């Protein structure tokens, strides 16, 4: 856990996340840090979340980067490239969706179900058992829980986290309604300054290669020939250059030690652009 | 152009697309085929669009797979894996957004602007010049044009294609308002049966590799060692196996000819799963 900067007698440290109170991202922040030493700051968009760190309004931000069912959160890959922040940690959180209602509402009264489209999709098998229900996409999961309370809707339910139910005083009627329970989200911790992990280091980089045959193959050779384990590779379009890509790559090791240092040096010979996004300790999985 | 199955004296051939009449996908279908020999069939979701081909309700479907600014349409990658259809063609369409209103409405009356979130994002620089405008996300671009007509809104505008303006009888007030005009979408043509292109063949495959160091590198070596040009690689999570991936890869060549045939044979030695999604002629770019 990366709580090196947070001393027990210091004031609470502000940590930004995107969404409403009770969001999965807020939970990830509270699992990464010790809950009692931080104060979580909700932001409306991912852009605002990154900017809060950049503008020194918060110590760090915790943002989702990848879900084991839905794939990458592409906007955050693009924001990593746009902002000069550093990845200083990561954490994996099991995502489990709960169906919740206002206290006193029972299942027979529910006509509409609100949630984020991705959560609705992940609970499709459950929802298909009640075809009369109206499914209403909402901005986010915790936000749909908040909607019920704000409007005091007694004919509606929300799908969100157990922390959202707790936060808004809602009753959970159906637990863990997702079709596939192997549902994890990886969150990144972003800070302005960089850090060096003391053990289990991994490194995230972004680079682009010339638009010539075999250039990606040569890049992967840099790592394979040094027996460096690649943990993830992701391509994103390069804005302004149709059908050219930047690659985001995670590898085991750090730029401070061999063979990671030599691999990055070698990448510099091939890549048209290259940046280290951060070096950090491999994250824990919170079930 | 892939109009081999469509004879001039035959009945009109039904081609499915996702969205409302006037959608970019419908335009792509009309550019791929000769407009006068097909009838375009709108579908509500991408799932329904794929199913229409599978259930023989249409000859083919035309679906977006990748945008040069926004990246891949992941849902369609997942649907390619789920359905047993074949890619039989592709086409690239320049995406240009128009701001449109009901005839008689002028720009000073407009208080709200409707469009798909991605189109709104692509026109952000234009919209920021009028901060008083309310920006309203809608289900799709052509659908937002249809909304204006249905509700006869004189205080609202929609951002959609010029074909949507034509379809719904709207006036274009501002043309090509996207920030980055290098904005292209690649569409795939899907049919039930497979085809073999006579020239400029390319092949799309999907595969997974064992979760061992260097396995993706070895896969790319199969192509690099045979001087086969890779056109695209994309990873997607493998449902039910957190942090394992399937890879979608496009290469120059076909399974009918060397060296593509040998490369696919070689891939069979390494991959835990492998499927050819289709072989087709490289697509034209429609500006």
* Cα distance between residue A54 and residue A60, in whole Å: 9
How many angstroms away from the CA of B218 is the closest CA of chain A?
9
pLDDT at residue B162 above 70?
Answer: yes
A124 contacts A178 by C-beta, under 8 angstroms: no
Q: Quick check: A5 pLDDT over 70?
A: no
Q: Are residues A39 and A108 in the same domain?
A: no
Query: pLDDT tens digits, residue range B208-267?
Result: 998 787 888 999 999 999 999 888 888 888 877 888 889 999 999 999 888 999 999 999
Contact A16, A57 (CB under 8 A): yes
pLDDT at A7: 53
B4, pLDDT greater than 80: no
Peptide bond into A216 cis (omega under 30): no
Q: Nearest residue on chain B to A93, judged by CA atoms?
A: B242
> What chain B residue is nearest to A233 in terms of C-alpha separation?
B235
Residues A19 and A71 in one domain: yes
Give the C-alpha separation, B159 to B99, whole Å. Answer: 5
Partner-chain contact A230 B216, CB within 8 Å? yes
- Whether residue B1 is contained in a domain is answered as no
Q: For residue range B43-74, what is the model confidence (pLDDT) as tens digits?
A: 988 999 999 999 999 999 999 999 888 888 88
Mean pLDDT of B158-187: 95
User: Is B8 a member of any domain?
Assistant: no
Measure the CA–CA gap between A259 and A157, rounded to whole angstroms: 53
Q: What string of DSSP letters covers A72-102?
A: E-HHHHHHHHHS--EEEEEEEEE---EEEE-
What are the residues whose beta carbons fall under 8 Å from the beta carbon of B269, sequence distance 6 or more? Answer: none
Q: Which residue has the higher pLDDT, A195 or B137?
A: A195
pLDDT band at A118 (very low <50, low <70, confident <90, very high): confident
CATH number at residue B54: 3.40.190.10
Q: Is residue A6 part of a domain?
A: no
Residues A156 and A255 both lie in one domain: no
Q: Indicate the pLDDT class of residue B3, thresholds 50, 70 and 90.
A: very low
Residue A263 has pLDDT above 90, yes or no: yes
Mean pLDDT over residues B87-104, rounded?
97
On whether the CB atoms of residues A111 and A156 are closer than 8 A, the answer is yes
How many domains are contained in chain A?
A: 3
Are residues B115 and B164 located together in one domain of the fold?
Answer: yes
Q: Quick one: A88 and A188 in the same domain?
A: yes
* Residue B26 confidence (pLDDT) above 90: yes
Is the domain of B270 the same as that of B209? Answer: yes
Distance CA A110, CA A217 (A): 54
B276 and B224 part of one domain: yes
Interface of B with A (CB under 8 A): 67-71, 74, 180, 182-184, 213-214, 216-217, 220-221, 223-224, 227, 229-230, 233-237, 239-243
Claim to verify: residue A20 and residue A46 sit in the same structural domain: yes
Per-residue pLDDT, A9: 65
Sign of CA dihedral B189, B28, B185, A240: positive
pLDDT at B223: 94
Q: Which of A4-8, A210-214, A227-231, B113-117 has the lowest mean pLDDT?
A: A4-8
Residue with the two structure tokens 């979760």: B211
- Say what the pLDDT of residue A69 is: 84
Q: In terms of residue numbers, what domain contains A118?
A: 98-174
CATH code of the domain containing B270: 3.30.70.260
pLDDT for residue B9: 65
Q: Is residue B3 in a domain? A: no
Cβ separation of B216 and A237 shorter than 8 Å? no
Residue A58 in any domain: the answer is yes
Among the candidates B137, B165, B195, a domain finishes at B195
**CB-closest option in A67, A182, A237 to B69:** A237
Residue B271 inside a domain? The answer is: yes
Which of the pair, B7 or A82, is modelled with greater confidence?
A: A82
Paired tokens of B271: 């991959």
Is B212 domain-assigned? yes
B110-155: pLDDT as tens digits: 999 999 878 888 898 899 899 899 988 787 899 999 999 999 999 9
Residue A3 falls inside a structural domain: no
Q: Specify the pLDDT at position B8.
A: 55
Q: Are residues B61 and B165 in the same domain?
A: no
User: Is B70's CB within 8 Å of A241's CB?
Assistant: no
Confidence of residue A3 (pLDDT cuts 50, 70, 90): very low
Whether residue B32 is found in the same domain as residue B89: yes
C-alpha A236/C-alpha A77 separation (Å) is 8
The pLDDT value given to residue B57: 97
User: In terms of domains, do B18 and B142 share one?
Assistant: no
pLDDT tens readout for residues B270-284:
999 999 999 999 999
Question: Per the residue annotation, which of B50, B187, B223, B251 is the catalytic one?
Answer: B187
Q: What is the pLDDT of residue B7?
A: 53
Q: Which of A161-165, A170-174, A232-236, A271-275 has the lowest mean pLDDT?
A: A232-236
Percent of chain B's residues with pLDDT above 70: 97
Which residues of chain A are within 8 Å of residue B74 when distances are taken between CB atoms?
70-71
pLDDT at A8 (0 to 100): 55
What pTM was computed for the model?
0.84
Average per-residue pLDDT in chain A?
91
The verdict on B47 and B188 lying in the same domain is: yes
């Amino acid at each position: 856990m990366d709580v090196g900067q947070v001393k027990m007698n210091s004031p609470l440290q502000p940590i930004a996340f995107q969404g409403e109170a009770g969001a999965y991202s807020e939970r990830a922040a509270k699992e990464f840090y010790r809950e009692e030493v931080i104060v979580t700051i909700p932001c409306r968009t991912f852009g605002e979340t990154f900017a809060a760190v950049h503008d020194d309004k918060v110590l760090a931000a915790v943002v989702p980067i990848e879900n084991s069912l839905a794939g990458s959160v592409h906007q955050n890959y693009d924001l990593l490239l746009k902002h000069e922040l550093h990845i200083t940690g990561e954490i994996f959180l099991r995502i489990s969706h709960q169906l919740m209602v206002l206290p006193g509402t029972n299942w027979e009264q529910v006509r509409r179900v609100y949630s984020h489209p991705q959560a609705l999709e992940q609970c499709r098998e459950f929802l298909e058992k009640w075809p009369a229900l109206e499914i209403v996409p909402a901005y986010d999961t915790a936000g749909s829980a908040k909607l019920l309370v704000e409007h005091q809707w007694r004919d509606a339910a929300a799908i969100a986290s157990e922390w959202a139910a707790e936060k808004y005083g809602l009753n959970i009627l159906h637990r863990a309604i997702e079709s596939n329970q192997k549902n994890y989200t990886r969150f990144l911790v972003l800070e302005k300054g960089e850090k060096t992990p003391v053990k289990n280091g991994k490194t995230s980089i972004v680079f682009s290669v010339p638009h010539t045959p075999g250039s990606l193959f040569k890049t992967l050779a840099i790592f394979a020939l040094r027996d460096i384990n690649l943990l993830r590779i992701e391509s994103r379009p390069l804005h302004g250059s149709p059908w050219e890509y930047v690659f985001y790559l995670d590898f085991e090791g750090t730029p401070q030690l061999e063979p990671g240092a030599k691999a990055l040096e070698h990448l510099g010979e091939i890549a048209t652009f290259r940046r280290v996004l951060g070096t950090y300790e491999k994250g824990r999985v919170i079930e």
